């Protein structure tokens, strides 16, 4: 289907603003802020959106680094898009073709891996191009642009969903840089991402004197007293129990996983006092909510046992409860039409020269054409679906995890992937992919392509009442078959010791000093 005049205007707008999008993408990449602590990144988006005429609610859903921006060109349908901008601890990488941290930081600092810096800038580019086309062609309706922090811990979208931020949309467009084959330059068809639960177990030893106490016993020398094992021992017991239980909690079917992270400690570093505080976070990725509930229950039992053994009490704090995805073929087909019209991203000679430098610095002989062939080709959603299903049980409906899935239950949603630069051969160290996600020559083709697909898809929804109707009818039908209400029954978990940048006498630094 050829582009409409409005779509052509939007495509031209993205191209005309390529240099600014590139520079802005570099800005967010260099911030490298991690989950729940994306202060500079969120403020940058809020300021920029307000300057573009959007009404912006900063701190949406009670999350300081979230936002909701809205713009209207009169009565009509409203289309949703969004930005993510969180990075990952211990992945600090400069936008250079060799391993190097960003200036003034060590490798332990945050860095963009997927990269969400490019994801967010693609969303902004598509949003502003859609707005420009609506104004130029008198298209009525509105745009809603969400700022979604902490995606790496599946943070904001379940909270936004429960608070109604996705309600009332004619459609939601969800873009992500490609991260696994065959989901590259395509749209998800039937098999959407599954459920994800994440929680923090906080062990607190605040009555250490009662552990092992005997009524009426004299006060002994403090350094020879029986003492509670304390919070560190509780955390170790929990860590080990979780590892031991993995093989028993669920069968080896369904592509499920659990990962853990130790967030903080409360240790008396110069005495023999028990540690008073220790926290461990768990993230599970499972196909169904029922599986998530079963695993969560077993982890809770393990935590209670660890606390009882070590003179602690335990608190469970939820980080996320996200639902599995809901397919919408009408939306997927609409976006696929636009992807075919826009085409796959193409990397020029300058970009491939950079890729060859990365290969050389990874100890790989540089290749004539260093890019993974799939990055420059489209794959039909049904073909990608067939390949994806080869490794899944027929009964498994959902696979892997991403919290865009919470949007699917509130508005017709399409999930699509555009290739980020990926190298042939390998395996390559993580820094190589991270660097290619920040170097303008290598990441700009993805940003440009994704922004064009977003704008063209949004305008198709706004201009084509039949397309909107088909997407909404399918959405309502699928929800009627098996609706899952929001699972979020917890406040934003912003109070924990999430890794972040700090200001010290040494200047701005990561929470683990770089020197």
User: Higher-confidence residue: 415 or 205?
Assistant: 415
Check residue 155 and give its pLDDT: 94
Check residue 308 and give its pLDDT: 93
Check residue 18 and give its pLDDT: 98
The stretch 36-57 carries a mean pLDDT of 98
Q: Kindly tell me if the per-residue pLDDT of 49 is higher than 70.
A: yes
**CA 325 to centroid of chain Cα atoms:** 15
Render pLDDT for 254-302 as a digit per residue (tens, 0 to 9): 778 888 888 876 776 666 778 889 999 999 999 999 999 999 999 999 9
Average pLDDT, the chain: 93
Report residue 202: phi and psi, to 5°. -105, 115
Check residue 274 and give its pLDDT: 80
User: In angstroms, what CA-CA distances link 308 with 21, 200, 254, 295, 304?
Assistant: 54, 18, 33, 20, 6
Cα–Cα distance between 296 and 306 in angstroms, integer?
15
Render pLDDT for 214-232 as a digit per residue (tens, 0 to 9): 665 555 555 556 678 889 9
Check residue 219 and give its pLDDT: 52
Q: Kindly tell me if the per-residue pLDDT of 314 is higher than 80.
A: yes
Render pLDDT for 157-199 as a digit per residue (tens, 0 to 9): 999 999 999 999 999 999 999 988 999 999 999 999 999 999 9
Q: Kindly tell me if the per-residue pLDDT of 367 is higher than 90.
A: yes
Check residue 400 and give its pLDDT: 86
**H/E segment holding residue 173:** strand 171-177
Check residue 249 and give its pLDDT: 80
Check residue 13 and give its pLDDT: 98
DSSP letter, residue 411: S
Could you tell me which CATH number the domain at 5-61+109-192+324-390+401-481 has?
Answer: 3.40.630.10
Are 99 and 140 contacting, i.e. CB atoms less than 8 angstroms apart?
Answer: no
pLDDT-based confidence at 208, cuts 50/70/90?
confident
- Sign for the CA dihedral angle at 373, 374, 377, 383 comes to positive
Q: Kindly tell me if the per-residue pLDDT of 335 is higher than 80.
A: yes
pTM exceeds 0.75 for this model: yes
DSSP-assigned beta bridge partners for residue 81: 145
Render pLDDT for 421-435 as a digit per residue (tens, 0 to 9): 999 998 999 999 999
Domains 5-61+109-192+324-390+401-481 and 196-212+222-322 alike in fold: no
Residues in the chain: 515
Domain 196-212+222-322 has CATH 1.10.10.10: no
Return the domain boundaries, the chain. Answer: 5-61+109-192+324-390+401-481, 196-212+222-322
């Amino acid at each position: 289907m050829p582009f409409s005049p409005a779509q052509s205007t939007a495509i031209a707008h993205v191209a005309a603003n390529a240099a600014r999008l590139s520079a802005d993408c570099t800005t967010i990449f260099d911030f490298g802020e991690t989950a729940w602590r994306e202060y500079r990144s969120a403020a940058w988006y809020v300021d920029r959106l307000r300057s573009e005429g959007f009404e912006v609610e900063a701190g949406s859903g009670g999350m300081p680094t979230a936002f909701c921006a809205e713009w209207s060109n009169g009565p009509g349908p409203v289309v949703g898009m969004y930005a993510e901008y969180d990075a990952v601890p211990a992945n600090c990488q400069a936008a250079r073709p060799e391993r190097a941290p960003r200036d003034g930081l060590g490798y332990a600092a945050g860095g963009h891996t997927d990269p969400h810096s490019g994801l967010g800038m693609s969303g902004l580019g598509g949003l502003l191009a859609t707005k420009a086309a609506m104004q130029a062609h008198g298209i009525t309706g509105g745009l809603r642009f969400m700022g979604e922090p902490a995606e790496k811990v599946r943070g904001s979208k379940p909270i936004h969903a429960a608070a109604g931020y996705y309600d009332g949309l004619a459609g939601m467009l969800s873009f992500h840089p490609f991260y696994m084959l065959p989901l590259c330059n395509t749209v998800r068809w039937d098999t959407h991402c599954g459920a994800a639960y994440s929680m923090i177990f906080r062990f607190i030893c605040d009555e250490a004197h009662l552990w092992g106490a005997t009524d009426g016993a004299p006060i002994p020398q403090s350094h020879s007293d029986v003492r509670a094992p304390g919070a560190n021992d509780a955390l170790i017991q929990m860590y080990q129990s979780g590892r031991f239980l993995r093989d028993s909690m669920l069968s080896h079917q369904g592509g499920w996983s659990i990962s853990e992270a130790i967030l903080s400690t409360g240790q008396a570093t110069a005495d023999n006092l028990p540690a008073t505080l220790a926290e461990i976070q768990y993230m599970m990725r499972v196909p169904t909510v029922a599986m998530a509930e079963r695993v969560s229950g077993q982890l809770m039992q393990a935590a209670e046992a660890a606390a009882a053994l070590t003179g602690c009490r335990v608190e469970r704090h939820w980080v996320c409860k996200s639902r599995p995805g809901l397919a919408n073929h009408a939306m997927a087909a609409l976006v696929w039409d636009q992807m075919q019209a826009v085409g796959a991203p193409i990397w020029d000679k300058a970009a491939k020269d950079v890729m060859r430098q990365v290969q050389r610095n990874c100890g790989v002989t540089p290749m004539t054409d260093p890019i993974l062939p799939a990055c420059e080709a489209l794959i039909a959603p049904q073909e990608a679906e067939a390949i994806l299903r080869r490794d899944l049980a027929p009964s498994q409906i959902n696979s892997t995890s991403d919290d865009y899935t919470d949007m699917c239950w509130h508005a017709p949603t399409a999930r699509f992937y555009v290739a980020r630069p990926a190298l042939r051969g390998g395996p390559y160290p993580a820094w190589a992919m991270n660097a290619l996600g920040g170097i303008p020559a290598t990441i700009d083709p993805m940003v440009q392509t994704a922004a064009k697909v977003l704008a063209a898809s949004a305008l198709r929804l706004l201009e084509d009442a039949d397309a909107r109707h088909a997407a909404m009818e399918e959405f309502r039908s699928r929800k009627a078959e098996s609706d899952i209400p929001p699972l979020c029954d917890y406040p934003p978990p912003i109070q924990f010791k999430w890794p972040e940048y700090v200001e010290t006498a040494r200047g701005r630094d990561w929470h683990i000093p770089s020197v």
